[in-house]
A and B are shown apart, each in its own frame.
Chain A
Amino acid sequence: EVQLLESGGGLVQPGGSLRLSCAGSGFTFSNYALNWVRQAPGKGLEWVSSIFGSDGSTYYADSVKGRFTISRDNSRNTVYLQMNTLRAEDTAVYYCAKAWGSVSYYIDYWGQGTLVTVSS
């Protein structure tokens, strides 16, 4: 059974940093792209970032480019999202999501989400 377990969310002040982690199990982690998708309170889904399984290429939404960094440790079956210079508009539930393949933005499994609140 595929499982994705996020951690690292919490309350942070504007301008602060936070690192999210997502541990995957039930699949060959290194073979798949991983995504972060967020959902602001009462709003829709927004793609944030992807890291491919084939070569580790990384991609970012314009809204987070230069502030967020996605990485993966295949030996630990874990993907990370380092979030710097956080803004109030980054407040959201962040979902870790497994892609269908190594080079894909289609999501077939979602984690339960972790809440990030940016507020003073």
Chain B
Amino acid sequence: DIQMTQSPSSLSASVGDRVTITCRASQGINAWFAWYQQKPDKAPKSLIYATSNLESGVPSRFSGSGSGTDFTLTISSLQPEDFATYYCQQYGSYPPTFGGGTKVEIK
């Protein structure tokens, strides 16, 4: 199985900050890579698919990039509603696997 390691596991940032979350795969994967956002006591929400494509309705301050083993989620200007935990997922290799999550707290 491909292991996904997210970093950091948590971070604290101010409104307006640029935030970057990284996910590293245990082996090279193709572009079938996604990011999800989960707010407390809510179901996850899909943000980005195929490494860099935003789901409909997702604000443009979110972006994704990467290739090989290293993938990144960037929030260009953090907003109060972005307080959440973010998960990466590779879905190109069976079984699909998730990262451990990154909790983003607002300073």
Which A residues are closer than 8 A to B by beta carbons? 37, 44-47, 50, 59, 61-62, 95, 100, 104-113
Q: How many interface residues does B have (CB within 8 Å)?
A: 22
Interface string of B41-68 (1 = CB under 8 A from A): 0011110011000010000000000000
Contact among B32, B45, B95, B99 for A44, CB-based, below 8 A: B99
Minimum CB–CB distance from A105 to chain B (whole Å) comes to 4
**Contacts of B43 on A, CB cut-off 8 Å?**
95, 110-113
**Contacts of B55 on A, CB cut-off 8 Å?**
108
Q: Tell me the chain B residues, 74-107 only, with Cβ under 8 Å from chain A.
A: 87, 89, 91, 94-101
Which B residues are closer than 8 A to A by beta carbons? 32, 34, 36, 38, 43-46, 49-50, 55, 87, 89, 91, 94-101
Assess A47 versus B44: contact at CB under 8 Å? Given A105-B91, A108-B55.
Answer: no
